[in-house]
């Protein structure tokens, strides 16, 4: 692109006006969920018996019969057609990230040369997408290209772009999961079972424990013409070069600041789309960095919340285009500027309405609260490396440990109040316990469990995993990630821990201990055991890195090596015991993780090499020769005096050639490193080679290009600069 084109694009972007949004005349309560086949629509479109049978299956998590499936499919089809749908699609989340759909029209031959629209229970419940091109880590070789997608009745069907989308799991012919939803559902069930057993100590009527998720989605918006003038953004989702602009987030004037009108129009449009799809988005605001924003819904049951986040990410991309924006979900689109995360607010609650991470009114409620908190801390401590691996990716690795986001070490922030309570419980001795026993007998007053009124004013933004009053906020999750990855590990790890806890308490009860004693003793052990995961200090500090190492926390920083945590004996044991993932599945999924890591870096390296040699170096050379020309002319005209005047030019010429030389040399080395890495057959080793040898070369190249950006005539610079990309008007 020539620089005059760059200026044209900038002008176009800056002149753009907000796109008018067709606001519905009704209030949200009228159109909320209108595109969802929810229980209201089921009631309307299904015979009464079928409606009731389906509701029971959903609540009890039991499979439905083929006969029922046929009736439901017919009702669903009628509803979908009444609402303008022409196609249907199984909708699932493959391991590549994002969502996949394969659309089929409802039409079938009517036997008279025409067609009718039909949809059978068979097509609703199960399909065999020819999915050999989805990654499967070798589970399903391409000869056996069959994979099944099967309806997840706990997540309602919806209409997107005139297509009836049916949320499904995606599994191989031999039954191994090829997606995120399958293990997520297993993890949710496993934490339900384990937590229910423990929650019954406090309320024998509890039948289920529900896992809740409230995500906060951060993102950047960039004007579409500037976006399309940056091949790196188009192809990799982030800028591979670009010098920081003089002003970015130093003034912190963007956070919670006024939202520009173009953006506001986009947000309103997005909100309306989301509400029609039953996604309860509620909060929207500017984020720390320029052009960075956030939206968050009201929390929901984890499986549904996760489907809603996946759906939001596609709706966002589409809505942004309508407003001449591109949405960037990459964790680190711009160097030197805050990256984007997706905080996962996570909690457990009983079907009786108790929130298990919230203190309650009675000492017994509070013992329950402390019990669940201590178990979460123990689980996170036990599996801190694995939990970190669950959020790691080629893209999120730019964000973690980059002195602005949580470090690449998992620790838990509790706040001083909870820390005091935990310390008090841990240090209370046996005398206290006998005391407690006496008191417990008549009033259930537990001296170790004080009245709790927690405020979460001392929230620590540097912690990757923070207790925030009634939930944990897992902040290390990346903005482009499928939250399921983190939720699978977290729920499964906590399930394992709770079930161990339950066994130990049972053993004490069998030995004749009183319930509160048994629980308190085990809680005390857990608090002491998992002390090392608790850290309320500054997670960005150098000292914390040293301290974490001393505490034996996982401090690995290389993404491909972090994935090893999935195959650690403790992880395999945890996943198998909880029934969430088998060893074969874990191995296959890691292959996919390494493969995706390699491919992402490979693409970035190619784009960077191309931009460096074909866009930047030629422009820098051209500018350099204008300096040379100037210098020669000065010397011709003025001799020695000309050389003196031209000294600055000479210095610039030398600097420019210095940078060009390093860029050329490093691009060559990077290409060689890539060739060597590509020759490695083992996916893990290949990913490590990319990490160790290709990534550092990319950083060197970028450094020198960014230096050139400061030296070369602004008029000539071919790519939109940060200051142009980052300030929407
Ligand atoms: P903040 O930015 O202060 O962290 P937000 O309001 O942006 O808070 O987002 C908080 C998210 O946490 C929302 O999605 C909210 O619904 C969710 N949330 C609140 N309480 C719970 C809970 N008990 N369990 C899970 N998520 C919760
Ligand atoms: Mg928020």
- Left (φ > 0), alpha (ψ -120 to 50) or beta: where does 162 sit? left
Instruction: Note the pLDDT tens digit of each residue in 577-607.
Output: 999 999 999 999 999 999 999 999 999 999 9
Instruction: Note the pLDDT tens digit of each residue in 301-333.
Output: 999 999 999 999 999 999 999 999 999 999 999
Ligand whose nearest atom lies closest to the CA of 471: 1
What's the count of helices (H) and strands (E) in the chain, helices before strands?
Answer: 27, 17
Pairing of β 465-467 and β 412-413? parallel
Is residue 311 within 8 A of residue 482, CB to CB? The reply is no
Instruction: Note the pLDDT tens digit of each residue in 254-271.
Output: 555 567 889 999 999 999
Provide the pLDDT for residue 345: 97
Is residue 619 within 8 A of residue 712, CB to CB? The reply is yes
Provide the pLDDT for residue 252: 52
212 lines ligand 1 (CB under 6 A): yes
Whether residue 80 has pLDDT greater than 60:
yes
349 lines ligand 1 (CB under 6 A): no
Q: Please state, rounded to an integer, the average pLDDT across all residues of the chain.
A: 89
Provide the pLDDT for residue 443: 34
Secondary structure class of 223 (helix, strand, coil): strand
Whether residue 391 has pLDDT greater than 60:
yes
Provide the pLDDT for residue 42: 96
283 lines ligand 1 (CB under 6 A): yes
Instruction: Note the pLDDT tens digit of each residue in 104-145.
Output: 888 888 888 898 888 888 888 877 766 566 677 766 554 444
Can you tell me the mean pLDDT for 450-464?
A: 66
Whether residue 286 has pLDDT greater than 50:
yes
Can you tell me the mean pLDDT for 270-278?
A: 96
440 or 688: whose pLDDT is higher? 688
Q: Which of 213, 214, 255, 293 to mutate to test the pocket of ligand 1 (most atoms within 8 A of CB)?
A: 214
Ligand whose nearest atom lies closest to the CA of 283: 1
Least confident of 4-18, 75-89, 259-273: 4-18
Instruction: Note the pLDDT tens digit of each residue in 644-685.
Output: 999 999 999 999 999 999 999 999 999 999 999 999 999 999
Q: Which of 126-130, 456-460, 472-476 is most confident? A: 472-476
The listed CATH number (3.40.50.10070, 3.30.360.10, 3.30.590.10, 3.40.50.2000) that belongs to domain 188-581: 3.30.590.10
Hunting for tokens 């620790």 — which residue is that? Answer: 411
Secondary structure class of 540 (helix, strand, coil): coil
Contacts of 77 (CB under 8 A, 6+ apart): 88, 106, 117, 118, 119, 164
372 lines ligand 1 (CB under 6 A): no
Whether residue 210 has pLDDT greater than 70:
yes
Confidence of residue 455 (pLDDT cuts 50, 70, 90): low
CATH of domain 32-179: 3.10.20.70
Hunting for tokens 């609703």 — which residue is that? Answer: 124
How many angstroms separate the alpha carbon of residue 299 from the centre of ligand 1? 6
Confidence of residue 253 (pLDDT cuts 50, 70, 90): low
The listed CATH number (1.10.760.10, 3.40.33.10, 1.20.120.1560, 3.30.450.20) that belongs to domain 597-725: 1.20.120.1560
Instruction: Round to whole Å and give the CA distance between 586 and 540.
Output: 32
Give domain limits for the chain.
32-179, 188-581, 597-725
Whether residue 11 has pLDDT greater than 90:
no
H/E stretch holding 87: strand 87-92
């Amino acid at each position: 692109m020539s620089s005059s084109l760059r200026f044209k694009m900038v002008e176009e972007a800056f002149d753009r006006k907000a796109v008018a949004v067709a606001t519905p005349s009704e209030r949200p309560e009228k159109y909320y969920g209108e595109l969802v086949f929810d229980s209201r629509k089921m009631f309307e479109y299904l015979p009464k018996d079928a409606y009731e049978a389906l509701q029971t299956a959903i609540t009890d998590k039991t499979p439905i019969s083929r006969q029922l499936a046929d009736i439901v499919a017919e009702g669903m089809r009628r509803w979908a057609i009444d609402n303008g749908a022409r196609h249907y699609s199984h909708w699932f989340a493959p391991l590549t990230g994002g969502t996949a759909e394969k659309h089929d029209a409802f039409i079938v031959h009517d036997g008279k040369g025409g067609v009718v629209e039909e949809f059978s229970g068979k097509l609703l419940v199960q399909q065999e997408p020819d999915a050999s091109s989805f990654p499967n880590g070798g589970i399903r070789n391409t000869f056996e290209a069959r994979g099944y997608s099967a309806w997840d009745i706990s997540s309602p069907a919806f209409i997107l772009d005139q297509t009836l989308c049916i949320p499904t799991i995606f599994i191989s012919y031999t039954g191994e999961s090829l997606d995120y939803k399958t293990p997520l559902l297993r993890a949710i069930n496993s934490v339900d079972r384990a937590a229910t057993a423990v929650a019954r100590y406090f309320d024998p009527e509890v039948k289920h424990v529900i896992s809740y998720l409230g995500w906060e989605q951060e993102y950047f918006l960039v004007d579409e013409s500037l976006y399309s003038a940056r091949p790196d953004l188009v192809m990799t989702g982030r800028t591979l070069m670009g010098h920081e602009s003089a002003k970015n987030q130093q003034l912190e004037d963007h956070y919670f600041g006024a939202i520009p009108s173009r953006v506001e129009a986009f947000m309103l449009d997005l909100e309306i789309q989301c509400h029609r799809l039953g996604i309860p988005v509620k909060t929207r605001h500017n984020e720390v960095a320029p052009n960075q924003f956030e939206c968050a819904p009201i929390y929901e049951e984890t499986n549904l919340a996760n489907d809603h986040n996946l759906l939001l990410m596609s709706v966002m991309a589409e809505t942004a285009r309508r407003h001449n924006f591109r949405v960037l979900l990459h964790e680190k689109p711009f160097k030197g500027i805050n990256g984007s995360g997706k905080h996962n607010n996570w909690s457990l609650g009983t079907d009786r309405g108790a929130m298990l991470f919230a203190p309650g009114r009675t000492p017994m409620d509070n013992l329950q609260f402390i019990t669940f908190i201590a178990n979460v801390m123990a689980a996170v401590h036990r599996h801190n490396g694995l939990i970190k691996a669950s959020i790691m990716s080629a893209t999120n690795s730019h964000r973690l440990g980059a002195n602005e986001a949580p470090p690449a070490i998992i620790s838990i922030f509790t706040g001083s109040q909870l820390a005091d309570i935990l310390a008090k419980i841990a240090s209370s001795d046996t005398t206290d316990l006998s005391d407690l026993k006496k008191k417990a007998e008549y009033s259930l007053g537990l001296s170790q469990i004080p009245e709790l009124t927690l405020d979460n004013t001392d929230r620590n933004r540097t912690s990757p995993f923070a207790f925030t009053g009634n939930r944990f906020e897992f902040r290390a999750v990346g903005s482009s990630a499928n939250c399921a990855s983190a939720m699978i590990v977290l729920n499964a790890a906590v399930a394992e821990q709770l079930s161990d806890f339950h066994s130990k308490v049972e053993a004490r009860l069998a030995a004749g201990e009183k319930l509160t004693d048994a629980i308190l003793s085990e809680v005390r052990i857990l608090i002491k055991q998992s002390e090392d995961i608790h850290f309320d200090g500054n997670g960005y500090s150098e000292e914390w890195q040293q301290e974490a190492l001393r505490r034996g926390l996982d401090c690995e920083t290389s993404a491909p090596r972090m994935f090893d945590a999935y195959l650690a004996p403790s992880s395999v044991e945890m996943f198998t015991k909880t029934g969430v993932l088998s060893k074969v599945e874990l191995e296959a999924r890691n292959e996919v993780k390494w493969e995706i890591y390699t491919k992402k870096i490979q693409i970035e390296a190619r784009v960077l090499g191309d931009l460096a040699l074909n866009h930047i170096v030629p422009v820098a050379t051209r500018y350099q020769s204008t300096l040379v020309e100037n210098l020669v002319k000065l010397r011709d005209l003025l001799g020695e005096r000309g050389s003196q005047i031209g000294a600055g030019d000479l210095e610039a010429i030398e600097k420019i050639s210095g940078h060009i030389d390093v860029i050329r040399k490093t691009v060559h080395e990077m290409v060689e490193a890539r060739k060597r890495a590509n020759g490695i057959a083992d996916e893990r080793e290949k990913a490590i080679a990319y990490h160790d040898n290709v990534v550092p070369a990319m950083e060197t190249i970028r450094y020198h290009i960014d230096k050139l950006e400061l030296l070369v005539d602004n008029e000539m610079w071919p790519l939109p600069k940060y200051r142009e990309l980052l300030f929407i008007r």
